[in-house]
Chains A and B, each alone.
Chain A
Amino acid sequence: MNNTPPTPSYEPPRDHYLISAGGHIRSWLLTTDHKRIALLYLISVTVFFFIGGVFATMIRIHLLTPDGVLVTPETYNKLFTMHGVAMIFFFLIPSIPAVLGNFLIPMMIGAKDLAFPKINLLSWYIYLIGGSFVLYSFSTGGLDTGWTFYTPLSSIYSNSAVTPAVLGIFINGFSSILTGLNFIVTIHTMRAPGMTWFRLPLFVWSHYATSLVMILGTPVVAITLLLAGLERMFHLGFFNPAMGGDPILFQHLFWFYSHPAVYIMVLPAMGVVSEIIPTFARKPIFGYSFIAASSIAIAVIGFLVWAHHMFVTGESTYAALTFSFLSYLVAIPSAVKVFNWTATLYKGSISWDAPMLYALGFIGLFTIGGLTGLFLACLGLDIHIHDTYFVIAHFHYIMVGGAVMGYVGGLHYWWPKITGRLYPEALSHFAAIVLFLGFNLTFFPQFILGYLGMPRRYHSYPPEFQVLNVLSTAGASILALGYLLPMAYLSWSMRYGKVAGPNPWPATGLEWKTDSPPPTENFHVTPVVDWEPYDYRNRPDLGLAAGAPLAPAHSDD
């Protein structure tokens, strides 16, 4: 590619959201700009990701030998509990919605901000307060109940700092509820002229579905954990059978939220992938309305499958049959998405940019995660693989292979918009491949471990399981590199990356029709939408001209 003409070079806009309010710390802590709040979330969820990642690293090191190499049983139990709590409640659930969703939803629909900018800031502070309670719990005795807080272990028997942790998660729930509320109102009321429902980017549809789950599900888990806390503090017998309570009731209430919570994590990632694929295949997404509808279907059916976590609790056979049936139904809309993404690639003009690699990595890992869900939904198989490493592998494929791949891919895709700068290309390709390989080496052996019968949450294990555990730990060290690399080069690029210009890919969404980084009010004039989503054929403004030799917009060599 020595003969490629020079790509146009851009100057960063003279005024944009990062500088127009000044750089003073107060201008950040008191901002109501959805883009700045998104960056506040970006920093805080990264901190929790880092904390959770350190716990994960210690877990994998400990499991190198059958007797454990690193910590005592008490500490090990705290490590996996705190890993789960930090990652699920304080990283995965807020990551894509509160960072990318916050930044992008107003821009994608052509609005100046979310409907309730002050509430948006409030939800970040609530997140911080909840997070502080949880960090207090971690640092004053830790937490050893498992992230599921099953009673009566959590409410009576645990000697760790359960009360501040459940209070922290209770408080944090309001952050999630307010964010969901903000998104729904914004999407309903603040769309630009011409931005009809079926012209919305699929990212917005998936966040709409996510917000429904946040609003309807979160109150249930908040109250449930509060009840467990009250039982612990004041000996009220909600779940403890010695006081007339029922421990199974806790599981029903807990999973009523915590299963749909999986969709809070993965639906936004599906939204990211639905943006990346048409952009880097340069053609409209295949089956737009089916992908949009499948997001809503997942959100609705997702509320009706919770007791598939409880097939071996002794729940009635009829309940088990019902929940198994519904669990198979919820697999269908996910399959529809995968088929439509794949069909979109057909006859596309496919670039190998890093966001595309992450999106395809997402499809691969999410497909494995989704298909292994079919094993767990199967009643006759679940009696064997329930509560084993098979489950661990399955949900890490969904939540890490799926949600985190989507998040990192989305960060790469919108990084030029957020920062105005491009990341280093070769390094980003390398990181995407390292992440994909490291992830598979870490978690695929765990499927086999699970079928062999290794239960989850074991600080020591029989010697015959060692080889697979060592493989998994080896994979985890590669995976860690796959996360540290983007953290490093994305940070580097904020200052030293090549200036991106408004629309480097180019992409069709409204967010690309304004400066990078955008001005505080997002658009200099309110945009009017008169095109269909992901339409490259009728968009002369994108400046695409067939026949030009290949020169990636962000080539930095």
Chain B
Amino acid sequence: MQSPLPIYPEQASNFAPHVDALLIFITGICLLFGAIITTAIVFCFFKYHRKEAGAVGIVTYEDPLVEVAWIVAPLILAMVMFAWGAIVYVDYRNAPRDTLDIYVVGKQWMWKAQQPNGLKEINELHVPVGRDIRLILASEDVIHDFFVPAFRVKMDVVPGHYNTMWFRPTKPGRYHFFCSQYCGTNHAVMGGWVTVMEPTDYAAWLSGVSGGEANPVAAGEKLFAEKSCVTCHLANGTGRAPSLNGLYGGQVLLADGSTVTADDAYIRESILQANAKIVARYQPLMPNYQGQLTEEQIFALIAYIKSLQSQPVPATGSGIAPVSEKK
């Protein structure tokens, strides 16, 4: 329970102490500058108050050295702020390896999250404590923003893009998450709760909440057949389109000679705008699926493609390993 007048949000992620340290550092510098300026003004205001109607001030000649000093000193402090802030930000924008990936879709005005085993949540997000979590964010309509104040992180959710954010929850509990990019009528109520659980509780929760949730790999495999992808993308590489076995995470040589990493964003783009990047030695034959798939269907297709790791296509998808408790 929060106190009625909180002045400091809870710290519940690996980033929270760093962001708070930055806050304290910059606040300290600013208080110092503010105190100097305020003292000087208040002192002069009273000390040099005009006593005689015709009095004029005493001309003080400016010294270029003074000007240089008060240009250089703030500049140095500003550069420290810049560098420190940059270190935290670069860490935030580069997720570590071996993250627990959760797909999150924002739409007016709700959040849908999909756990690795296909379990879906609405306006709730359950994560294990101590594990690096990566959210892959997609929007069905306008720009949203996934913001967890207790974690001190946010990221815009932009239609047409995949943005990712990561954090490592450090304290079990329930924390607000908000939409912090204005998205229309019910923007203010487009939020929910992140539940940070002990890993064992999380595993139990994952297996305990069933209810016929479609396995994303199975759902993707079904879509792969329904949308006729399977007619060209033959597993053995003899089709009109490249085989997708072992594609995910690898390097793809393109027709223009460049290479690209086959990550979520690349696969998404190749489905929706098939001709944006053509694989070397293949013809641009594939139709665009822009507007024909929901973000969740794209997630399912990606999950299915991810599962095709140089193996014969499994009959029933179970390509994503169950979540382990390793740190």
Contact = CB atoms under 8 A, between A and B. Distances in A.
Interface string B91-120: 011100000000000001000000000000
Contacts, number: 298
A548 B55 CA distance: 8
Nearest to A314: B163
Nearest to A285: B62
A216 interface: no
Nearest to B68: A290
A282 B179 CA distance: 53
B79 A458 contact: no
Contacts of B55: 282, 349, 544, 546
Most buried by A among B29, B49, B56, B67: B56
B2 A381 contact: no
Interface in B50-95: 50-60, 62, 66-67, 70-71, 74-75, 78-79, 81-82, 84-90, 92-94
A475 to B, nearest CB: 16
A549 B89 contact: no
Contact of A282 (B50, B149, B178): B50
Interface stretch (A91-99, A112-120, A328-336): A328-336
A247 B159 contact: yes
A356 to B, nearest CB: 9
Given A372-B30, A546-B55, A242 B290 contact: yes
Interface in A442-470: 448, 451-453, 455-462, 464, 466-468
A144 interface: yes
A146 interface: yes
Interface residues of A, number: 102
Interface in B21-53: 22-23, 26-27, 29-30, 33-34, 37-38, 40-41, 44-45, 48-53
A282 B66 CA distance: 22
A382 B212 CA distance: 41
Contact of B74 (A313, A331, A351, A382): A331
A525 interface: no
A73 interface: yes
B18 interface: yes
B291 interface: yes
B108 A157 contact: yes
A136 interface: no
Nearest to A81: B182
A451 to B, nearest CB: 7
Interface stretch (B137-145, B213-221, B302-310): B137-145
B153 interface: yes
B141 A314 contact: no
B4 interface: yes
Interface in B204-235: none
B70 A339 contact: yes
A281 B5 CA distance: 42
A313 B60 CA distance: 49
Contacts of B90: 317, 321
B158 interface: yes
Contacts of B34: 367-368, 371
A247 B158 contact: yes
B323 interface: no
Contact of B9 (A74, A343, A453): A453
A254 to B, nearest CB: 13
Contact of B78 (A314, A328, A551): A328
A380 B142 contact: no
Interface string A323-357: 01100110110011011101101111111100000
B58 A283 contact: yes
B285 interface: no
Interface string A274-311: 00000001111011101000000000000000000001
A261 interface: no
Contacts of B26: 374-375, 378, 381
A246 B277 CA distance: 17
B178 A455 contact: yes
Grouping DSSP codes into helix (H, G, I), strand (E, B) and loop, the B interface class, with mixed when no group exceeds half, is mixed
A298 to B, nearest CB: 14
A381 B82 CA distance: 10
Contacts of A320: 89, 93
A134 interface: no
A537 B56 contact: yes
Given A336-B70, A387-B180, A380 B44 contact: no
Contacts of B145: 312, 387, 455
Contacts of A350: 44-45, 48-50, 57
Interface string B113-139: 000000000000000000000000000
Nearest to B73: A335
A386 interface: yes
A223 to B, nearest CB: 21
A488 interface: no
Nearest to B187: A457
A424 B5 CA distance: 41
A360 interface: yes
Contact of A387 (B9, B71, B82, B154): B154
Contacts of B179: 455
A364 B41 CA distance: 9
B188 A73 contact: yes
Contact of A384 (B4, B30, B45, B152): B152
A25 interface: no
A346 B93 contact: no
A363 B41 contact: yes
A548 B176 contact: no
Given A368-B34, A387-B145, A546-B55, A346 B19 contact: no
Contact of B6 (A73, A328, A339, A452): A452
A386 B150 CA distance: 14
A381 B22 contact: yes
Nearest to B45: A350
A472 interface: no
B185 interface: yes
Given A311-B89, A548-B52, A153 B81 contact: no
12 contacts: A290-B67, A314-B158, A324-B89, A342-B37, A350-B50, A377-B81, A380-B19, A380-B22, A456-B182, A468-B5, A544-B54, A547-B52
10 nearest A-B residue pairs (beta carbon): A453-B149, A241-B160, A380-B88, A283-B57, A379-B89, A378-B85, A345-B44, A348-B57, A455-B180, A458-B188
Given A314-B161, A350-B50, A377-B81, 15 more contacts: A148-B182, A150-B143, A242-B159, A244-B273, A246-B160, A283-B56, A317-B93, A346-B44, A347-B57, A350-B44, A367-B33, A367-B37, A372-B30, A452-B7, A452-B9
Interface of A: 73-74, 77, 144, 146, 148, 150, 152-153, 156-158, 241-242, 244, 246-248, 281-284, 286-288, 290, 311-314, 317, 320-321, 324-325, 328-329, 331-332, 335-336, 338-340, 342-343, 345-352, 360, 363-364, 367-368, 371-372, 374-375, 377-384, 386-388, 448, 451-453, 455-462, 464, 466-468, 536-537, 543-552
